[in-house]
Amino acid sequence: MTMIAKLDEIITVEVLTYPGKRDIFKEPQQQHVQIPGTFLMGEKWYLTHTCKQCGNNVEIRQVDIEYKDSGWFFMSFLSWRSIRDIQLLDEIGALFGLNISTDFDGEQPGSFRYYSLTGIFKGMALIAYYQCPHCKSQYLMTFMHAFAQNERSAEPDEMYVEKIYQVRFDHDTFMKRVKK
């Protein structure tokens, strides 16, 4: 049974990034980003787009990513270890056209099942669920962090956002299934 209906897609976002102590940029940066696309993470960032339903701004902050579940925001790796409801995991993976991978992790073959991004960065996908604070329109975003190879030197760490969809589903059912 399909739980998630895709309504629309976010094509562009605005990002405001503040530098950290080890970042190569020293002043706040305002970036216009086409999705899929990357932006410098810095010490903190704010991603904003126009709500497809009400036209107001919707903002995601780095603090939202770090503190995961605030009622209107949820973030998780797209893996069996994080989302135990395999049907929901597979539905999210199919919605975004992600690649499924299975690895042997010492328990049994195929016991670590996850979805990976298909764009310029390859790796385990993260999913963010959030709502417009004005009209409660729902959004799902696939992304990953692309960290600098040497964390001791200047850090050109990036956030890669592959897709953002406006979606519709029952919030309570989704949260219950995602937290199984």
Residue 20 tokens read as 């950290």
Query: Residue 20's pLDDT is what?
Result: 82
Read out DSSP for 57-125? EEEEEHHHHHT--SSSEEEEESBTTT---HHHHHHHHHHHTPEEEEE--SSSTT-EEEEE--SSS-SB-
Strand partners, 161: 37, 143
In whole angstroms, what is the distance from residue 13 CA to residue 47 CA? Answer: 7
Query: Residue 158's pLDDT is what?
Result: 82
Residue 77 tokens read as 């790796």
The mean pLDDT values, 10 residues at a time, for the chain of 180 residues are 89 93 86 93 90 95 55 66 81 88 54 68 80 93 72 64 95 83
The structure's pTM equals 0.84
